[in-house]
A and B are shown apart, each in its own frame.
Chain A
Amino acid sequence: MGTEDIEIESRNLNLWYGSAQALKDVSIPIEKNRVTALIGPSGCGKSTFIRCINRMNDLIKGCRITGKVLFEGRDVYEKDVDVVVLRKRIGMVFQKPNPFPMSIYDNIAYGPRIHGTQAKRELDEVVEDSLKAAALWDEVGGILDKPALDLSGGQQQRLCIARTLAVKPDVILFDEPCSALDPISTARIEDLINVLKHDYTIIIVTHNMQQAARVSDHTAFFLLGEMIEFGETKQIFERPVEKSTENYITGRFG
């Protein structure tokens, strides 16, 4: 990939929770408008890594970070970076769907409202556009005033994606977005990721290797806090270079 295509890049990123080192010298380039999957066994640091990108780890006590995370060439850990703006531009979807206990409409309108959009027409438009982009409009377009918590798990997760899209981010971080979903809902989210990548840069953490193989363009394999191998997904799954990558993806591990 050419340097002009790189939207996010970690350089020699180290992270400690207290005295335990969770990331060791991780350098990964994340290409614009592509899906990058992070795989590896539990506790390997993949979730910790994506939480560094929008500074979610700032909230954790005793967390210390060295190295850089460049977003459009600028280190997100520079002193004058506005974290609220950063998290607006780098949205996140979590493992468990976490809609707010309010209506479907208000869930989507929440972000735009706190970022200053008040006009009803404008909000209506954002809600409709976001739900359409998240492939949920057809199912909930007529029941926008219903509580979001009445939706199914898969619908709730797409609602959370729509809520992320509503603030018009550039990057979406998915932290195990399908691990609490049934296979059909999972397939819907995967289809959605394939469509969303035309407009967004996507990073997805997944325990499901087949999912990584299906949805991503690039894959990074993490082990014990180190990024062992990074490459095109087809190369990683057909002919990985590193022995430990091969052992992990072929199930010769542990």
Chain B
Amino acid sequence: MVREQYHEELTKVRQMVLKLGEMAGASIKNSVEALCDHNVEQAEAVIKGDAGIDDHSAKIEIKCMRLLALQQPMARDLRMIGAVIKINLDLERMSDLAVDIAKITVAIGDEKHIKPLIDIPRMAKIACEMLDSVLQAFSESNPDLAYKTAKCDDEIDALFDQVRRELITLMIEDPRKIANASHLTFVARYLERIGDHATNICESVVYMVTGDRVKLN
């Protein structure tokens, strides 16, 4: 084996992506938990934690640029770096969406939700499972798992439609519920976007391993 330091660097980039994925996953989970529990403190922690995530994401980008400039990666290494640059963006965007959810929790404060939150936590749970699963696919270079993971996005989309319809009905019935209902509609929309980013990551993993460019949503 030659170019050992280079290969160590590549391994390190992969580990950094997995770490960023964990951080993004925790933000999503905490932001929705805080929303359900009216836990403003927890929501604020999510908002505050985003700087660390941005910082870690910037480090990944710098490392990728440096590897491109100094090591001229080829073939699967090149595809890995290309995929990581995209995955990095998706993970960073997912964290931003978690922050958006946390900001809504702060805005809502103690005000009671107009309905018990059932589908929104379900959406969050599926999104987090998708993220865990695609990170595993990335770590194992497993395109089959990436394909399988991407399918879960349909469930999130279906739940989003259901939540939105339900909230519109509530708003029509009682205009006083509009403020809270529109907040919750946004939350559902953010979770739906998080699912889309997870699907993008599935596509990147397939490209990384096989070189095929696929559309999975």
Contacts and interface: CB of A to CB of B under 8 A. Distances in A.
Given A238-B211, A252-B7, A246 B2 contact: no
Contact of A250 (B76, B210, B211): B76
Contacts of A44: none
B79 A238 contact: yes
B17 to A, nearest CB: 19
Contact of B3 (A210, A240, A245, A251): A251
Contacts of B79: 238-239
B73 interface: yes
Contacts of A254: 1-2
A224 interface: no
B118 interface: no
B72 A252 contact: no
The interface centre, meaning the residue of B6, B75, B77, B211 with most chain A CB atoms within 10 A of its CB, is B75
Interface residues on A, range: 10 to 19
A65 interface: no
A238 B210 CA distance: 10
A251 B2 contact: yes
A249 B74 contact: yes
Contact of A246 (B1, B72, B76): B76
Nearest to A240: B75
A213 B78 CA distance: 13
Given A237-B74, A239-B79, A254-B2, 20 more contacts: A237-B78, A238-B79, A239-B75, A239-B211, A240-B75, A245-B75, A246-B75, A246-B76, A250-B74, A250-B75, A250-B76, A250-B77, A251-B2, A251-B6, A251-B7, A252-B2, A252-B3, A252-B7, A253-B1, A254-B1
30 contacts: A209-B72, A209-B74, A210-B72, A213-B74, A237-B75, A238-B74, A238-B75, A238-B78, A238-B79, A238-B211, A239-B75, A239-B79, A239-B210, A239-B211, A240-B75, A245-B75, A246-B75, A246-B76, A249-B74, A249-B75, A250-B74, A251-B2, A251-B6, A251-B7, A252-B2, A252-B3, A252-B7, A253-B1, A253-B2, A254-B2
5 tightest CB-CB pairs across the interface, nearest first? A239-B211, A251-B3, A249-B74, A246-B75, A250-B77
Interface of A: 209-210, 213, 237-240, 245-246, 249-254
